[in-house]
Amino acid sequence: MQSLDPQHRATQVLAALIDSAVDGIIVIDARGRIETFNPAAERLFGYRQEDVAGRNVTMLMPSPYRDEHDRYLWRYLQAGNAKIIGIGREVTGLRRDGTVFPIHLSVGEMTVGGERKFTGIVHDLSARVQLENRLRSSEERWRSIIESAVDGIVVIDAQGRIEALNPAAERLFGHTESEVLGRNVTVLMPFPYREEHDQYLARYLSTGEARIIGIGREVTGVHRDGTTFPVHLAVGEMTVGGERKFTGILHDLSARVRMEEQLREQAALVRLGEMAAVIAHEIKNPLAGIRGAVQVIGDRLQSGSREVAVIGEIVNRIDTLNGLIQDLLLFARPPQPKPALVDVAPLVATTVDLLRADPALKEIRVEMEGASPPVLADPELLKIVFQNLLVNSAQAMAAAGGPGRIRVSIAAIHDSCDVAFSDDGPGIPAEIREKIFTPFFTTKARGTGLGLPTAKRLVEANRGTIRIDCPSGGGTTVTVQLPLAVAQAAGAGWSSS
Amino acid sequence: MTPAAPHLRVLVVEDETLIRWSIAETLAHEGHTVLEATNARSAVETLSDTSEPVDVVLLDYRLPDSNDLQLLANVRRLTPGSAVVMMTAYGTPEVTKGALDLGAYRVVNKPFDMHALESLVLEAHGSRSPRAN
């Protein structure tokens, strides 16, 4: 039977409450000495009640808080300046073993038997802080993954508005994140996809019919400068704070598509080469028979007769046909380059002299300037390249009504030699400039359309590049870039130093 | 005074009728004796008859029964004294080099000029017989 008076009973309840509390409870007197240290506080700090009773509470604090506490307490008692009393905040505790840990400390004040005392309730924050740290480092990790990702990442909301654009996506599209935040993602798409996207998104949200979400496929992106590029887009869906969002991961396919095109082109050229070899034989052999027989017959005709003239014309036509086959062979089956040290300027000069032997090109004026160290290339093939470019320029200018002037500038830039052929002809319209290296494309009434493609193939066979520019001032400049011999030697590890 | 051009025995090995005819007509017109073969087998037969040696062989690279330099090698072995001019409609640099290495005097690409044929044959013959100089 319990027969305790209510006062005693309340004391017992309070004592039990303090003993069973999950948070540490520490009571100190006005001088900071510990009077009460409950079991939870014992567990937290690693001391037992009897170890700490009567000692200054600063023993539970690491420096520098320890050194400041007496002053705080004194100031509070003197002036009532509360830094923590009645407020509570996060502080650091010091365990018996010297380790520190984060705690939330709330301090209340009471007066017992005329003495002011302070009750500190200590809530261990270790777990929470650990969790926070984990979250923070996890967020940092995710952020750094997204920031450093090679693929572009674009997050949009359910209305299609851009919420995030990682650096790779910034590079891909040429926009900074701040420029496109909040704008419709269609700004990254070219016509006609741009027009369809809002509909797709709306349909997906209402019917769940996915065209790309959760699937991924090849699409076309548009760069800020207006150029388009192939890109693989994989779209995932997520719900953040109750809102549906979509994450697009964009993998640039430009290089792959370019490589596929090159492979296709190379395969086509190989096939063309095989075909050309067969055709060449099957056409040239009978042509030889026809040409020979016609010549023999012509020799038997009365010299100066109309028939003899016709025979001459037949032979000319046969030679033109044969030249066409030769051109086709040169393009389709260029000979293996035999690299040698080549001085470009004298080679251009020789080529110009050879061309002047052609009555149609006798009138062209060629000015040369600049010089370069030798390149490593096949001189015979280079001669064909230069010849094709000069003939092309001369013909373009002749078609425009005058013999004109060709300027050949030679310059060594870094580890390559630039040979630029500039004419003052009519230039090349932008719409056909891309096709200019396509075999059999020609703007001339007569011509095979193999001159420039052959030049390109031969230049590339010599590890060079060729490009066409039409300066705004008029005319056309074709620039052949060839690796300098020294650069190639160094690249191949022959450098003597 | 220019010495009179020699009358040569020339073998034309060629399966294309018009080429063979043109060559035979052109050289016969200049007084040379022209033998004809349309394939490798008959060419070898003709050259194996050593009673009347051949001065110059005009040899097509590609024949119904031959499509490599083996025939040229056989010709050179059978009649080392004959000059050989190789004819080809599509000669790669490798074929040309191989033919010259085997002792062909020249490799000509088809079509070629009939008006230049006789001087070519005389040149080829001159290269094989120093006495002609």
Q: Is B100 on the interface with A (CB under 8 A)?
A: no
CA A188 to chain centre: 15
Minimum distance, in Å, between the CA of residue B94 and any CA atom of chain A: 10
Contact A281 B89 (CB under 8 A): yes
Q: Is B51 on the interface with A (CB under 8 A)?
A: no
**pLDDT tens-digit profile of B81-122?**
999 999 998 878 888 999 999 999 999 999 999 999 999 999
Helices A344-356 and A379-399, interaxial angle, to 10°? 50
Count residue pairs from A and B with Cβ separation < 8 A.
67
Q: What is the pLDDT along chain A (497 residues), one digit of tens a residue?
A: 555 687 888 888 888 888 888 899 999 998 899 999 999 999 999 999 999 999 999 999 998 888 888 888 888 888 877 777 777 888 899 999 999 999 999 988 888 888 899 999 999 988 888 888 888 888 888 888 888 888 999 999 989 999 999 999 999 999 999 999 999 999 999 988 888 888 888 888 888 877 777 778 888 999 999 889 999 998 888 888 888 899 999 999 988 888 998 899 889 888 988 888 888 888 999 999 999 999 999 999 998 899 999 999 999 999 999 998 988 888 988 888 999 999 999 999 999 888 888 776 777 788 999 989 999 999 999 999 999 998 888 888 877 777 678 899 999 988 899 999 998 888 888 777 778 888 777 776 566 788 889 999 999 999 999 998 887 778 889 999 999 987 655 544 433 33
Minimum distance, in Å, between the CA of residue B87 and any CA atom of chain A: 10
Number of residues assigned to chain B: 133
B16 contacts on A by Cβ (under 8 Å): 285-286, 288-289
CA B121 to chain centre: 8
Minimum distance, in Å, between the CA of residue B132 and any CA atom of chain A: 28
The CA distances from residue A442 to A264, A296, A436, B76, in Å, are: 22, 37, 8, 48
Assembly ipTM: 0.91
Nearest CA in chain A to B115: A295
Dist CA A445 CA A451 (whole Å)? 14
What confidence score (pLDDT) does residue A447 get?
66
**pLDDT tens-digit profile of B40-88?**
999 999 999 878 889 999 999 999 998 889 999 999 999 999 999 999 9
E-strand ranges in A391-472 read 405-413, 416-423, 465-469
Dist CA A75 CA A146 (whole Å)? 51
What confidence score (pLDDT) does residue A446 get?
61
Contact A285 B23 (CB under 8 A): no
Minimum distance, in Å, between the CA of residue A232 and any CA atom of chain B: 45
Q: Is B28 on the interface with A (CB under 8 A)?
A: no
Minimum distance, in Å, between the CA of residue B98 and any CA atom of chain A: 16
B23 contacts on A by Cβ (under 8 Å): 292
Nearest to A296 among B17, B89, B114 (CB): B114
By three-state DSSP, how is residue A305 classified?
coil
| Sheet containing A243-252: order of strands | A162-165, A152-157, A243-252, A228-240, A217-222
Contact B62 A291 (CB under 8 A): no
What confidence score (pLDDT) does residue A44 get?
92
Given a contact cutoff of 8 angstroms between Cβ atoms, the answer to whether B34 and B19 are in contact is: no
Nearest to A290 among B18, B26, B92 (CB): B18
CA A133 to chain centre: 33
Dist CA B29 CA A298 (whole Å)? 14
Given a contact cutoff of 8 angstroms between Cβ atoms, the answer to whether A390 and A351 are in contact is: yes
B25 contacts on A by Cβ (under 8 Å): 296
Dist CA B9 CA B57 (whole Å)? 9
Closest CA to A155 of A116, A182, A128: A182
A318 contacts on B by Cβ (under 8 Å): 111
A284 contacts on B by Cβ (under 8 Å): 89-90, 109-111
Contact B90 A280 (CB under 8 A): yes
Contact A296 B89 (CB under 8 A): no
Handedness of CA A353, A354, A357, A361 (dihedral sign): negative
Tell how strand B33-37 and strand B9-13 pair up: parallel
Measured between its terminal Cα atoms, the distance across chain B in Å is 14
What confidence score (pLDDT) does residue B9 get?
95
What confidence score (pLDDT) does residue A4 get?
63
Closest CA to A261 of A97, A438, A35, A126: A438
Given a contact cutoff of 8 angstroms between Cβ atoms, the answer to whether A292 and B25 are in contact is: no
B112 contacts on A by Cβ (under 8 Å): 288, 292
DSSP state at residue A236: E
pTM over 0.80: no
B93 contacts on A by Cβ (under 8 Å): 335-336
Measured between its terminal Cα atoms, the distance across chain A in Å is 106
Minimum distance, in Å, between the CA of residue B15 and any CA atom of chain A: 10
What confidence score (pLDDT) does residue A490 get?
52
Minimum distance, in Å, between the CA of residue A460 and any CA atom of chain B: 20
